[in-house]
Amino acid sequence: MLRISQLVPAILLLSGGFLTGYFCAGAPVQIQAQESQVTDFGNDVLSAYRLVKKSTADLESLLSSGGDLKSATTGINFFSISVGGVNAEQDLEEGRGVDPETFAALYADLASPKILPHLDYDELGRLRYKKNVIRLYSRDRLKDLFKRRDELMVRSETAN
């Protein structure tokens, strides 16, 4: 069974390599913006995506089964996986904010079936969960999560 310490760096390395290659390929920014909607990715990019998808799914499964990850949205939350998991359901229940990717996914109508019935908008157009406005984590919480991700990366490089 793959260990979390082996999956985190693989996911981040593959994702980082893909994003660096994609955005720094040498084409002018205007051309990239126009082509990004119609780009037919090559086999190398698609292969990298397959690896990221597999590694991410494995890590998500490990974190979920260990109780470290509870999503409030559909699909993969790369941020929560990269920081070792968050409990977005509990965060919503307690009204203490959510991670950036959960926040964006909720606004993009990607709430999980369990969360969806409790969402609405206030008169200012702000998304609410059980009548409480959904906010991002505090600045301190975000700093702690980014620090935790950095620590996981270091630990994963030395673990065997």
Looking at residue 22, what is its pLDDT?
A: 52
Confidence band for 40, pLDDT divided at 50, 70 and 90: confident
Give the mean pLDDT of 51-73.
95
Instruction: Report pLDDT for 66.
Output: 95
Confidence band for 27, pLDDT divided at 50, 70 and 90: very low
Mean pLDDT of the 104-116 span: 97
By mean pLDDT, which of 24-38, 101-115, 129-143 is the weakest? 24-38
Mean pLDDT of 104-128: 97
Mean pLDDT of the chain: 85
- Residue 16: pLDDT above 90? no
pLDDT (average), residues 1-24:
55
Q: What is the mean pLDDT of residues 24-49?
A: 67
pLDDT at 80: 97
CA 10 vs CA 17, 30, 31, 63, 156: distances in Å: 10, 31, 30, 16, 10
State how far the Cα of 148 lies from the Cα of 83, in Å rounded to an integer. 6
Percentage of the chain exceeding pLDDT 90: 71
Q: What is the pLDDT of residue 159?
A: 80
Across 125-131, average pLDDT: 97
